[in-house]
Amino acid sequence: MTTRLSAIASHLRRPTLTNNNNNIIKSFAAANTRKMASSSEPTITLYTVGTPNGVKASILLEELGLPYNVKALKFSTQEQKEPWFLEINPNGRIPALTDTFTDGKPIRIFESGSILQYLVERYDADHKVSYPRGSRDYWEVNNWLMWQMGGLGPMQGQANHFFRYAPEKIEYGIQRYQGETKRLYSVMESQLAKSTSGYLVGDRCTIADISCVGWVNSHDWAGVSIEEFPKLKKWLETMLARPGVKRGFDVPDKREPRKEMTEEEKEKIAAEARAWILQTNEHTSSK
């Protein structure tokens, strides 16, 4: 681990950390919280792409108003599988984060759920988007976070895969994962029906909500409608209206305003992703 950490440290010192344009970019939070950013340089670097898992981390960083650097990775060139990045996330996926730990040495955090837990434990002392450790609400947030990490994310991810990216249309796979996604939305709907705040747990937006918003927001990419879930629709509107959520969705690149796309336009986007996804499959099966 020492070797790994020193590799991360030397990577962090490299002057040419890059985004799509081969530059590290300062976050929106850093730009917007000039006082924080000017009083201390960010110690956090987020390695990301604007996907439902990637935006979990940027949304939380924005909600907490933390300064951070952003390194945008390029899936098209498999940058997420390069040795330097595998030192930060051995799983070769985004998001990942590095920080200076309390002992003054670099720390790496990978898996979006782990990133959310790390950031609130270290930086949310006021419990803006969390609850005190060990309280009932803390454990309820943990339940929903694990539910998202083990259920909603993987199931909707597979729905995307079979519905959009698979080189052949396999009806069973499409039905199975779209059905699971819908079932999971109905679980969220029931929970939200019991909520008086409109959020999943207690009286505030927490990392449980933050972990789900990118996924629910891209329901139509998975071919699943949320029309039959009124509470979920309202929750999504509430989440998308939060300034921190809006800014988080614009990392690493500002998003185009949503417009209706034709099936041809959707297929063009899917085809670009299909190319690198199939490359990833080949890379994995050749190991």
Ligand X SMILES: N[C@@H](CCC(=O)N[C@@H](CS)C(=O)NCC(=O)O)C(=O)O
In the complex, which residues of this chain contact ligand X (CB under 6 A)? 51-53, 75, 80, 92-95, 111-112, 149, 153, 280
Pairing type for strands 68-72 and 25-26 reads antiparallel
Nearer to ligand X, 37 or 94 (CB): 94
Q: How far is the CB of 35 from ligand X (least distance, A)?
A: 31
Hey, what amino acid is at 16? T
Count of beta carbons in the 10 Å neighbourhood of residue 21:
7
Q: How far is the CB of 259 from ligand X (least distance, A)?
A: 22
Nearer to ligand X, 92 or 202 (CB): 92
Which one, of 129, 173, 194, 183, lies nearest residue 152 by Cα? 183
DSSP at 152 = I
Nearer to ligand X, 68 or 75 (CB): 75
Nearer to ligand X, 142 or 195 (CB): 142
Nearer to ligand X, 37 or 115 (CB): 115
Q: Which helix (H) or strand (E) holds 19?
A: none
Nearer to ligand X, 130 or 211 (CB): 211
Q: Which two tokens stand for residue 111?
A: 């898996």
Q: How far is the CB of 40 from ligand X (least distance, A)?
A: 27
Q: Based on the number of CB atoms within 10 Å of its own CB, is 13 exposed (0-12), middle (13-18) or buried (19 or more)? A: exposed
Q: How far is the CB of 13 from ligand X (least distance, A)?
A: 25
Q: Which helix (H) or strand (E) holds 69?
A: strand 68-72
Residue number of the CB closest to ligand X reads: 93
Q: How far apart are CA 88 and CA 80, in angstroms?
A: 10
Q: How far apart are CA 41 and CA 54, in angstroms?
A: 22
Q: How far is the CB of 161 from ligand X (least distance, A)?
A: 10
Q: How far apart are CA 69 and CA 98, in angstroms?
A: 10
Q: For residue 7, what are the contacts with CB-CB under 8 A and spacing of at least 6?
A: 84, 87
Q: How far is the CB of 78 from ligand X (least distance, A)?
A: 7
Q: How far is the CB of 47 from ligand X (least distance, A)?
A: 10
Nearer to ligand X, 73 or 245 (CB): 73
